[in-house]
């Protein structure tokens, strides 16, 4: 699966029902479409679909719509972030993958739309190669979750839901 949406078509079919529009966007960077299928010793056995299902159930219980998007392309991730601003997305959860360590343009886009975001890493990037120790996303993030496996996405979602409820 390269792209995942949650209730997007349902939301689209109910014109004017703004309560049904996604309010949280989950972004997955390059190669994360391989989750669960390669390198399980590093990234575990859960697939992106599994992660989305867990997050969607949790968000639905809180009455919040969530949408997930994965791309291997820096430009597509930037386009999705820019579209999120026009859609009224209130919070972004992002695992930028290897772009964490290389991209200036994606964190620029996040700062540009001024949507708060939490950065998630499945693995403990500080226990890996030195080039993974720095992320260009962290300084502007509302928070960073790292090294807790796919549970990190759930923790990030809980924090996002709390912040949305307090806004």
Footprint of ligand CA2 (CB under 6 A): 31-32, 34-35, 38-39, 43, 95, 97-98, 100, 121-123, 125, 132
Catalytic residue among 99, 121, 136, 153: 121
Beta-sheet pairing, 24-28 with 91-95:
parallel
CB 27 → ligand CA2: shortest distance, Å?
Answer: 12
For the CB of residue 145, give the shortest distance to ligand CA2 in the complex, in Å. 10
Residues 86, 23: contact at Cβ < 8 Å? no
Nearest to ligand CA2 of 105, 164 (CB atom): 105
Query: Residue 4 CB, nearest distance to ligand CA2 (Å)?
Result: 15
Question: In the complex with ligand CA2, which residue's Cβ is closer, 16 or 38?
Answer: 38
* Cα distance between residue 119 and residue 111, in whole Å: 13
- Of 4, 9, 40, the closest CA to residue 122 belongs to 40
Nearer to ligand CA2, 6 or 95 (CB): 95
Task: Using the Cα atoms of residue 28, residue 30, residue 35 and residue 41 in order, give the sign of their dihedral.
Answer: negative
Closer residue to ligand CA2, CB minimum distance, 64 or 81: 81
Of the residues 28, 43, 52, 153, only one is catalytic, namely: 43
Tell me if residue 121 is catalytic. yes
Question: What are the two backbone dihedrals, phi and then psi, of residue 116, each rounded to the nearest 5 degrees?
Answer: -60, 145
**Backbone φ, ψ for residue 129 (5° rounding):** -55, 150
In terms of DSSP bridges, do strands 3-4 and 66-70 run parallel, antiparallel, or are they unpaired? antiparallel
Q: How far is the CB of 36 from ligand CA2 (least distance, A)?
A: 7
Give me the helix-helix angle, 48-61 and 151-166, nearest 10°: 30
Catalytic machinery residues: 43, 121
């Amino acid at each position: 699966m390269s792209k995942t949406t949650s209730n997007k078509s349902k939301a689209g079919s109910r014109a004017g029902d703004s309560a049904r529009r996604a309010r949280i966007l989950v972004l997955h960077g390059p190669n994360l479409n391989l989750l669960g299928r390669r390198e399980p010793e590093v990234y575990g056995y859960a697939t992106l679909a599994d992660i989305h299902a867990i997050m969607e159930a949790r968000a639905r219980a809180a009455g919040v719509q969530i949408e997930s998007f994965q791309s291997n392309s820096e430009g597509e991730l930037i386009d999705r972030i820019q579209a999120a601003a026009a859609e009224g997305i209130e919070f972004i959860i992002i695992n930028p993958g290897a772009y964490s360590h290389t991209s200036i343009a994606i964190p620029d886009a996040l700062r540009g739309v001024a949507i708060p975001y939490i950065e998630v890493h499945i693995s403990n990037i500080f226990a890996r190669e030195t080039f993974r120790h720095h992320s260009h996303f962290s300084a502007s993030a509302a928070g960073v979750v790292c090294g807790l496996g796919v549970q990190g996405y759930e923790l990030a979602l809980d924090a996002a839901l709390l912040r949305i409820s307090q806004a």
